[in-house]
Amino acid sequence: MSETTMRPSADLQALDRLVGTWAVTGGVEGTVRYEWMPGGFFLLQHVELTQFGQQVTGMEVIGNLRPFGEPVGEDVVSRFYDATGNTFDYVYELADDTLTIWGGAKGGPAYYRGTFSPDGTTVTGEWVYPGGGGYSSTMTRV
């Protein structure tokens, strides 16, 4: 497939449901905003949250990897960059109304699983951490 006929993957395009601004409540509080980068190959998330009393400000780039000279990766992956210099990698998976975000590798012990409401205005779920812990989280479209 030539560069001019490349299309974003169907799995990435399915995340269009996230586009917009969301108020986040539960174990974290604040706002996240999703928007498409021109071309539609990357979804950008802008984060302004408070978690465990700490401000979390950052940006996430979500898409399929296409390293130089290699084929496009199957998984929808991301890297999150925060204002304190941290980077975190994730894998996104949307099946019907269930969004799973794996922390690190797909199938790993750290993940978020949430469900879209029938009208698409809320996503309710929880983060699960290895060894226990995690927190509930609800995103409401604003």
The model's pLDDT over 107-140, given as tens digits with 9 standing for 90+, comes to 999 999 999 999 999 999 999 999 888 999 999 9
Sign (positive/negative) of CA torsion 66, 70, 76, 81? negative
What are the pLDDT digits (tens) for 58-76? Answer: 999 999 999 999 999 999 9
Which residue in 125, 120, 127, 107 sits closest to 34, CA to CA? 120
pLDDT-derived band at 5 (thresholds 50, 70, 90) equals low
Residue 59's pLDDT is what?
Answer: 98
Identify which has the larger pLDDT, 98 or 4: 98
Q: Is the pTM of this model over 0.95?
A: no
The answer on pLDDT for 20 being more than 80 is yes
pLDDT at 1 (0 to 100): 47
Q: Tokens in use for 4?
A: 């001019």
Separation CA 142–CA 129 (nearest Å): 28
Give dist(CA 120, CA 66) in Å, integer: 30
Q: Please state, in angstroms and rounded to a whole number, the distance separating the CA atoms of residues 100 and 94.
A: 6
